Amino acid sequence: MATLTVPTTVPSVSEDCEQLRKAFSGWGTNEGLIIDILGHRNAEQRNLIRKTYAETYGEDLLKALDKELSNDFERLVLLWALDPAERDALLANEATKRWTSSNQVLMEIACTRSANQLLHARQAYHARYKKSLEEDVAHHTTGDFHKLLLPLVSSYRYEGEEVNMTLAKTEAKLLHEKISNKAYSDDDVIRVLATRSKAQINATLNHYKNEYGNDINKDLKADPKDEFLALLRSTVKCLVYPEKYFEKVLRLAINRRGTDEGALTRVVCTRAEVDLKIIADEYQRRNSVPLTRAIVKDTHGDYEKLLLVLAGHVEN
């Protein structure tokens, strides 16, 4: 469930553009007005605002925002204003350029988007960077990470609910054998995780647990410091329990000494129109604190205000 709230009656696009223009004019910027408008418009409405703003004022709205805003608030507004596919392309490009073995953003995008959303992100990547996401992933990643990430970002999974139980049983046995032999980057392990439908993977992993007594992620914890195993565990989580993956990202972003604003911004931005309510429920269950209260404790100013709006917080 999404947390984004859109008013029942939305002003006309031209009115929104006029108000945004007003927010930029005169002394200082009216950040509250920017939050009130963009923080309560869905992706389709935001795209129309960007298009109309450019046609009316001869200026890209993103460039106007870039000139007026700064710091974490600027990053949040600019990411939120992007079309979801453009945003994924930008995040994926940043992840390839700054890639380290602990960076899980490429896997996150590949495994938590639908087949069409991932395809649209790859198309947006072509348009924005004049090359493919696949070639950048191939160029910037190495070793076992390269072996797993390249097929993940290239995949186009079947999305039906049909499940082949015989296959689930066979592949559960196969995965157990490979993991028992510590062959974590074996071609078969990667093939199953990178190509099977999410419903099929879920059936396989349920059979794995029933047959062998352990959740697969428990068996992938042989070496807690191994970053490839950490990536494999996160891949499994993203495919089967995305809310648990995102809850952990938020918990680590908020609870560490010094907030990881990059991760907090990314999760709120990319999930507010998808399943942030489910993630927030998981966060409260796991941490006994509402996500919005944790955000208030760890952030401030306009950045905090927009995060709360996107997280569906309602002022009493």
296 is in an annotated binding site: yes
User: Based on the number of CB atoms within 10 Å of its own CB, is 72 exposed (0-12), middle (13-18) or buried (19 or more)?
Assistant: buried
User: Based on the number of CB atoms within 10 Å of its own CB, is 9 exposed (0-12), middle (13-18) or buried (19 or more)?
Assistant: exposed
28 is in an annotated binding site: yes
- Picking from 40, 107, 117, the residue whose alpha carbon sits closest to that of residue 83 is 117
- What does the block give as tokens for 97? 């350029």
299 is in an annotated binding site: yes
Q: Which residues of 145-161 are buried (b: 16+ CB within 10 A; e: fewer)?
A: bbbbbbbbbbbebeeee
298 is in an annotated binding site: yes
312 is in an annotated binding site: no
256 is in an annotated binding site: yes
304 is in an annotated binding site: yes
Long-range contacts of the stretch 111-116 (C-beta < 8 A, 24+): 111/152, 111/235, 111/238, 111/239, 111/242, 112/238, 112/242, 112/245, 112/246, 113/88, 114/159, 115/155, 115/156, 115/157, 115/158, 115/159
- Picking from 37, 30, 35, 80, the residue whose alpha carbon sits closest to that of residue 265 is 80
- Cα–Cα distance measured from residue 232 to residue 314, given in angstroms and rounded to the nearest whole number: 37
68 is in an annotated binding site: yes
50 is in an annotated binding site: no
- Cα–Cα distance measured from residue 220 to residue 148, given in angstroms and rounded to the nearest whole number: 15
Residues annotated within a binding site: 24, 26, 28, 68, 254, 256, 258, 296, 298-299, 304
Residue ranges at the known binding site for Ca(2+):
24, 26, 28, 68, 254, 256, 258, 296, 298-299, 304
